[in-house]
Amino acid sequence: MRITLLFLLPLAVYAQSDAGIAQGRAAFRGNCAFCHGLNAQGGRGPNLVSAPLHHGDTDSDLKNSIKNGIPGTPMPAFSGFGDDELDHLVKFLRSLSGAAAPKTTLSGDAKAGRDVYEKNGCAGCHRIGLSGSVFGPDLTRIGAARPVEYLRESIVKPSADIAPEWEGVTVVDNAGKRTTGVRINEDTFTLQLRTMAQKFASFSKQELRTLSYEKKSLMPAYEKLAPADLDNLLAYLATLAGGAGNTVVKEVETRR
């Protein structure tokens, strides 16, 4: 009997582990896959399979990021998760480590990419650190927040995936004035937009002639950007991890 029990004990442990991974997979796909991809290899959110993770690689780091969110990023706090659920989520993520996609090799030059960024007027809509515009997404830590392939698609085909907070809206008021901007707030009676001039515009819906929700991104598609320029720009964006991580930015500024 003892031999039988000793033999079955590891099987029971494996069964519990498999069940925990399955529960973690279900929790991930219900709460996290929309941003991080079905297999956690990135999308609107960063790749959670490839190391290093910018907010820590330990189990405790992962649980903290899930439970408390990451300030200054779109990552919300999932404070409702219990300890068991967090354990299952982490087990699921760890189980994917052997199935990670090969890391994207960047062939571009980050310093040249900074020049591409400036020459194409990207700062007219985007901000890096304290420089640029708040009309479009902040890029200060975009290299830590988005996989390279997602960034490539966002540059070349920005309408392929538009996050809800960056959906464009166009209104025409009763006087015929047309205004396009990013929706900041909307309820049954009012609408607030942020225009490209970085100003807020508030409207009463009763005073609008038309209200249209844009199906295309307000960001232009850079489909004709030279391949070398695109590679350089991606290499530059990949260096942007926030804070002290912007070493290339500092080097370029020093050079100038």
- Structural domain including 75 reads 2-99
- Indicate whether 30 and 69 sit together in one domain: yes
Domain stops at, among 48, 65, 99: 99
- Indicate whether 114 and 240 sit together in one domain: yes
- Indicate whether 38 and 95 sit together in one domain: yes
Q: Before 227, cis peptide (omega within 30)?
A: no
- Indicate whether 185 and 58 sit together in one domain: no
Q: Is the pLDDT of residue 84 over 90?
A: no
What's the CATH number where 138 sits? 2.60.40.420
What's the CATH number where 41 sits? 1.10.760.10
Q: What pLDDT, on a 0 to 100 scale, did the predictor assign at position 250? A: 47
209: number of CA atoms within 13 Å, CB side? 8
Domain stops at, among 59, 75, 99: 99
Assess contact for 193 and 200: CB atoms under 8 A.
yes
- Indicate whether 142 and 208 sit together in one domain: no
Task: Categorize the per-residue pLDDT at 41 as very low, low, confident or very high, splitting at 50, 70 and 90.
Answer: confident
Residue 201 main-chain phi, psi, to 5 deg: -130, 130
Q: What is the tens place of the pLDDT at every residue in 126-172?
A: 999 999 999 999 999 888 778 888 899 999 999 998 888 899 999 99
Query: How many structural domains is the chain composed of?
Result: 3
With respect to residue 174, please indicate whether it lies within any of the assigned structural domains: yes
- Indicate whether 126 and 180 sit together in one domain: no
Q: What pLDDT, on a 0 to 100 scale, did the predictor assign at position 103? A: 56
- Indicate whether 115 and 239 sit together in one domain: yes
Q: What is the tens place of the pLDDT at every residue in 96-105?
A: 875 444 556 7
With respect to residue 104, please indicate whether it lies within any of the assigned structural domains: no
- Burial code of 121-154, b = ≥16 C-beta within 10 A, e = fewer? ebeebbbbeeebbebbbbbbbbbbbbbbebbbbb
Q: Is the pLDDT of residue 173 over 60?
A: yes
With respect to residue 41, please indicate whether it lies within any of the assigned structural domains: yes
Residue with tokens 């590891």: 10
- Indicate whether 59 and 137 sit together in one domain: no
With respect to residue 10, please indicate whether it lies within any of the assigned structural domains: yes
Which of 219, 75, 64 minimizes the C-alpha distance to 144? 75
With respect to residue 52, please indicate whether it lies within any of the assigned structural domains: yes
Q: What pLDDT, on a 0 to 100 scale, did the predictor assign at position 205? A: 96
Torsion from C-alpha of 221, 223, 227, 230, nearest 10 degrees = 0
- Indicate whether 208 and 229 sit together in one domain: no
Task: Categorize the per-residue pLDDT at 246 as very low, low, confident or very high, splitting at 50, 70 and 90.
Answer: very low
- Indicate whether 73 and 36 sit together in one domain: yes
Residue with tokens 């199935």: 99
- Indicate whether 13 and 93 sit together in one domain: yes
With respect to residue 245, please indicate whether it lies within any of the assigned structural domains: yes
Q: Is the pLDDT of residue 106 over 70?
A: yes
Q: For 115, left (φ over 0), alpha (ψ -120 to 50), or beta? A: alpha
Task: Categorize the per-residue pLDDT at 256 as very low, low, confident or very high, splitting at 50, 70 and 90.
Answer: very low
Q: Is the pLDDT of residue 55 over 70?
A: yes
Beta pairing partners, 138: 127
CA 165, chain centre distance (Å): 12
Beta pairing partners, 193: 183, 201
What's the CATH number where 185 sits? 2.30.30.100
- Indicate whether 126 and 237 sit together in one domain: yes
Q: What pLDDT, on a 0 to 100 scale, did the predictor assign at position 44? A: 73
Q: What share of the chain in percent tops pLDDT 70? A: 82
Position 97, amino acid: S
Q: What pLDDT, on a 0 to 100 scale, did the predictor assign at position 121? A: 95
216/159 Cα distance (integer angstroms) = 5
Which of 103, 124, 132 minimizes the C-alpha distance to 238? 103
Between residues 45 and 11, which one has the greater pLDDT?
A: 45
Assess contact for 92 and 28: CB atoms under 8 A.
yes
Task: Enter the pTM of the model.
Answer: 0.65
β-pairing, 200-204 vs 190-194, is antiparallel
